[in-house]
Structure 1
């Protein structure tokens, strides 16, 4: 891994841009201050994004833009600062791959290799130093230049409150600001983690992955890791349900400042559905990165590359499966929200494995034995009346139908892509046939059961696919 010291910004340009922001800008709220902040953002864009080869912004520039994103109430300034930060990170990445020149290779015939470069002393929106004061924690670190781990956890908790806050009579900009702030932070985590994880995969470089921002958050003692995952799960379910219907009263509040007009409320309402949708995507990205990190750490543990300092952490999948097992009220919204077919299929199969009866003795020559670690194996278990009766004693028929329907939906999605190695256990016709058989067996076992709409849709799809074979 290479390191590179961040280039200093254009001193004159930086001074001129920062001069626009008076120290009082972050303690008062007037139209003049809003104009100054907008002028500052435009100056940063002109100085660092428009030129062909501009110097990288200094940390002072980043901190000022980030503070606007954290503090502003104006939707335009919130979105402008958010977009500017994304563009700056894209043009001046903190972690990137650099292809070695031929003269630097050991031999002329050597293929160019990609070296991971981490910019030394680059600005980060995260702070992993000492604990901030309690007042800063309550204000989510708004008086500080970056967010500590506790503030990040609190931000995730705030995402669970978005539906309640936005269902009030008056639309508020705070929930939208929190959602865009979370989206940006996940973007930073992704830009840092993906390349480090790639370096680990290709070069077994666990130390580099250990120093990723994501890992530093998860191992922090300032938060409870299990609590973070539970709050993530709540945020995902709440936001997913809320995204279905984002209708609001656009009347301005009587207590709002004169600058907040009916026009601004209309703008908030128009922006809300898309922001909620993109936040749901970021919430899932956050989980996927954690799952990938868990997998890489497990590999590093197996190879003996980790030390006691790395600690022991329960994998996120185990925590989520435990929550889904003991709180079936969140099962439906979770499956409805999760739009990653491979992950959804794997999780449902794992869920069923807890309830599928295990035979007392299995020999190598056992006939009719099924592999319940695959979706095909799970469906075959439901072809047996005794197995089905045992399963629905532990989970009711409705839950079983819900899981089978979502698993089938995920299977079909994977089958329509090129990644068919994930579903190579059974052919599509066999899966469709066993899907119909499983629902038939459920109906026979529980005569009073009613197949819900999503179950009927899955059966209809299976029947159509079978008829077309």
Structure 2
């Protein structure tokens, strides 16, 4: 792993840019402060993004931009600071891969090795390893321009309340600000984690992944890891349900909020549903990164690269599956919101495995062996009337139908290279075979439950399976 010093802006540029925020010669009116902040953001954009060979902003400038995103009440300034931070991170990454030079002893035909480069003392919106008293913590959150693991977890808890706060009676700017703040933090975590995880895959260096910001949050003693995962699930389901409910049409209200003027109210009402939708996607990204980190850590454990200092934690997938098993209220909203096909398919298969009857010991001559760890194997279990009766005793017919439909949708969305089926299962899990077994599974459900009502989503999946089967 290599390090490089951040290319800081020259002192004159930083001094001139930061001077814009000095309002000592003005009255402390809201309008003057807003004008100064807008001028500051425009100066940063002009000085560090427009020129081709511009230096990276200093940490002090980054902190001020981030602070505007955290505390501003102006919709325009919130969006401007959010967008500026994303563009700066893209232009000046904190972590990146650099092609290492070949040594003289290396073979001419050997492939170049990607080396992880971490920018030394780079700015980060996260602060770890510092303890604060309750009062100090509150002051630190307002002035430092950074968040610790507790503040990040609190932000996720706030997302759960967004659906209740986004009412037509009083429309506040805070929910939108918190959602954009969360989106940016997840984007920052993703930029750090994806590169480090790629370096781990290529170079087998677990230390680089252990030092990722994502891992630092998860191992923090300031938060409860399992509670964090559960709050993410709640936030994801709440946000998804709100965005899919057509009755949530936000309109200007008669009650004026001190933070939302009449002119900006309409813009906020238009922006909020779209921001909610993208925030739900960000929650999924965050959970997906945790699951990927768990997978990489498991691989490192098997190779003996981890130490006792890495600790032991329950994989996120297990926590999620347990929550889906014991809280039926979030089961369908979760899979309805999840738009990552491979993850959705794997999780639905794992969920059904909990309820598929355990078969007796098979002999070598047994011809009805079924691999229940694949989607094709699950469908074959549903094609057996006895198995179907046993399954729907534990989960009702409606849940079974919708989960099968979601799994089928995920299966046909997967590119061929993402298939995880073993060689002996390729024939049984081919698309024609999946379509045939999908139809057979629903027919078996009809025989088992005479009062079955197939929901629209299930009918759509059956129609798709029939069309694909007829076109083969």
Equivalent in the alignment of 1:153: 153
Aligned to 1:419: 417
Secondary structure in 2 aligned to 1:98? strand
Tell me the distance in 2 between the aligned counterparts of 1:138 and 1:446: 58
Q: Is there any run of 5+ residues in structure 1 with no aligned partner, and where?
A: none
Instruction: Write out aligned runs for 1:27-176 (5 A).
Output: 30-101=30-101, 106=106, 110-135=110-135, 141-176=141-176
- 1:63–1:146 CA contact under 8 A, matched in 2: yes
TM-score, with length taken from structure 2: 0.93
CA shift in 2, pair 1:391/1:107, >3 Å? closer
Shift of 1:273: 2.5
**Distance in 2 (alpha carbons) for counterparts of 1:140 and 1:444:** 64
Distance in 2 between the 1:123 and 1:252 partners? 43
Distance of aligned partners of 1:29 and 1:444 in 2 relative to their CA distance in 1, 3 Å threshold: farther
Of 453-462 and 316-325, more deviation after overlay is shown by: 453-462
Aligned to 1:458: 461
**Any residues of structure 2 matched to 1:310-459 within 5 Å, and which?**
310-414=310-414, 417-419=415-417, 421-422=419-420, 424=426, 425-459=428-462
Alignment map for 1:165-204 (pairs within 5 Å): 165-204=165-204
CA 1:104–1:222: 2 relative to 1, 3 Å: farther
SS for the counterpart of 2:180 is helix
User: C-alpha distance in 2, partners of 1:138/1:389?
Assistant: 56
Aligned Cα RMSD in Å? Answer: 2.1
Q: Deviations over 1:262-284 (max 9, x none)?
A: 22011111212221222122111
* Pick aligned residue for 2:252 from 250, 253, 270: 250
CA separation in 1, counterparts of 2:236 and 2:46?
37
Moved more, 395-404 or 60-69: 395-404
Superposition pairs for residues 183-262 of structure 1, below 5 Å?
Answer: 183-244=183-244, 245=246, 246-251=248-253, 253-256=255-258, 260-262=260-262
2:13 counterpart residue number: 13
In 1, Cα distance between equivalents of 2:183 and 2:119: 22
Question: 2: CA distance between counterparts of 1:106 and 1:4?
Answer: 25
1:276 to 2:279 alignment: no
CA distance in structure 1 between the partners assigned to 2:454 and 2:7 by the alignment? 63
For 1:253 and 1:47, the matched residues in 2 are separated by 41
Shift in Å, 1:138: 6.3
1:422 shift after superposition: 3.7
Deviation at 1:261, TM superposition (A): 2.4
Q: Deviations over 1:5-34 (max 9, x none)?
A: 212321011111111113779x96611100
Q: How far apart are the structure 2 equivalents of 1:123 and 1:116?
A: 18
Task: Work out the CA distance in 1 between the residues paired with 2:254 and 2:11.
Answer: 43
- TM-score relative to the length of structure 1: 0.94
Q: Is the 8 A contact 1:252 1:265 kept in 2?
A: no
Change (3 A) 1:95 1:372: same
In the alignment, the residues of structure 1 paired with residue 366 and residue 61 of structure 2 have an alpha-carbon distance, to the nearest angstrom, of 69
Q: Which moved more, 1:318-327 or 1:159-168?
A: 159-168
> Compared with structure 1, are the counterparts of its residues 159 and 140 closer, same or farther at alpha carbon in structure 2 (3 Å cutoff)?
farther
Report how far residue 289 of structure 1 moved. Answer: 0.8
Shift of 1:363: 2.8
Structure 1 residue 407, shift from structure 2 partner: 0.8
1:174 & 1:159 partners in 2: Cα distance? Answer: 11
What is the CA–CA distance in structure 1 between the aligned matches of 2:263 and 2:134, rounded to whole Å?
A: 37
Name the CA distance, whole Å, in 2 between partners of 1:238 and 1:306.
37
- Residue 205 and residue 64 in structure 1: after superposition, are their counterparts in 2 closer, same or farther (change >3 A)? same
Q: Does structure 1 retain, via aligned residues, the 8 Å contact 2:193–2:213?
A: yes
Deviation track 1:67-123 (CA, whole Å, cap 9, x = no partner) reads 000000111100111111111111111101122346888565554332110011111
SS at match of 2:282: helix
Matched with 2:471 is: 468
User: Is this contact kept in 2: 1:97–1:115, CA < 8 A?
Assistant: yes
- 1:430, CA displacement in angstroms? 1.5
Cα distance in 1 for partners of 2:80, 2:435 equals 49
Q: Go from structure 1 to structure 2 and tell me whether the alpha carbon gap of 1:64 and 1:411 turns closer, same or farther (over 3 Å shift).
A: same
Tell me if the contact between 2:342 and 2:418 (Cα under 8 Å) persists in the aligned partners.
Answer: no
- Deviations along 1:388-441, one digit per CA (max 9) or x if unpaired, are 111111111111111111111111212xx3436346451222111111111111
